Amino acid sequence: MSRFGRTLSAEFRKVTATKIWWILAVVLAAYSAMMAVTFAFLFGTMSDQLGEGVPLPSGQETANMVYASVATFGYVVPLLVGSLFATGEIRHHILGLAFIAEPKRGIVLLSKTLVLLGVGALLGIAGLIGAVPSGAAVIGATGGEPMLGTTDTWSLITRVVAVIAVWAVIGFGIGLIVRNQAFAIVLALVFTQFLEPVLRAGAQFWDWSANIARFFPGAATDAFVGSSAMSLAAGDMSAAGGADPLSWWQGLLVLLVYVVVTIAAGWWLRWRRDVE
């Protein structure tokens, strides 16, 4: 086996040796199911509440927003996994052992990145296992069409898996930057579940701030996935003259910029220095 193969295998064993990855996968599946059911019920009963004269999302749009809840609300989980993967090694002083086994730190970094992409993809699949069946069941029960046989739905599902994988790598870079495990957890939860949603909503009142908000990581995630319940209000503001959302490829490009920036900053602040 090559040096890269040995390092990749070792990094994979590090992740799977603990329970945290599959515990968080179960959490993501349950959280995604809860959010999917909630929005499927809201969209399914919206026509009865608002009346026939109000324009509503189509069946495909509704299904997309329900299934995309994995990425819209659940990207905090791969962010946590990546952060814990970095801060755990720093906290327990085992990063030096990896550098002893493989002195070329670039190989170690590449191996960790690829492993996290794989783990992130598994997390995305777990989230979809929670969201898709439960969301589809509620859509069908409220008189809608789950749209599970359409190309648009499966294209969205594929993008959800990809974006969750990318977020695991971003989390790794952030973990390297902040170093402290408790702070990394608090930062991830506060930013994704409170700070960014509030800023995105508030930014829609002015054109200049709405243009900036398009490049927030959560907004870029929604743009790449192609659907989001959180972007519904922003879309209404765009129709009224606000900023248009990013296209899917622009959203992906912004996310990759976040990956490069966080990993590069982690390399500069931690990776290239002497380990403790």
146-158 confidence digits (pLDDT tens): 999 999 999 999 9
159-198 confidence digits (pLDDT tens): 999 999 999 999 999 999 998 889 999 999 999 989 998 9
Q: How many Å apart are CA 62 and CA 64, to the nearest integer?
A: 5
Confidence of residue 227 (pLDDT cuts 50, 70, 90): confident
Distances (CA, A) of 130 to 1, 24, 79, 80, 127: 37, 13, 19, 19, 5
Which candidate, 129, 133, 127, 146, places its Cα nearest to that of 44? 146
Q: Are residues 81 and 175 in contact, defined by beta-carbon separation less than 8 angstroms?
A: no
Whats the size of the chain, residue-wise? 276
Q: What is the percentage of the chain residues whose pLDDT exceeds 70? A: 89
Q: What is the percentage of the chain residues whose pLDDT exceeds 90? A: 56
pLDDT at 44: 79
pLDDT at 233: 53
Minimum mean pLDDT among 32-36, 87-91, 229-233, 263-267: which range? Answer: 229-233
What is the separation of C-alpha 253 from the centre of its chain, rounded to a whole number of angstroms? 15
pLDDT at 82: 94
Q: Are residues 69 and 35 in contact, defined by beta-carbon separation less than 8 angstroms?
A: yes
Confidence of residue 137 (pLDDT cuts 50, 70, 90): very high
36-93 confidence digits (pLDDT tens): 999 999 887 765 555 554 456 778 999 999 999 999 999 999 999 999 999 988 777 7
Confidence of residue 237 (pLDDT cuts 50, 70, 90): very low
Q: Which position has the token pair 């990207």?
A: 75
Distances (CA, A) of 82 to 57, 160, 264, 265, 275: 35, 17, 15, 15, 19
Which candidate, 127, 108, 101, places its Cα nearest to that of 12? 108
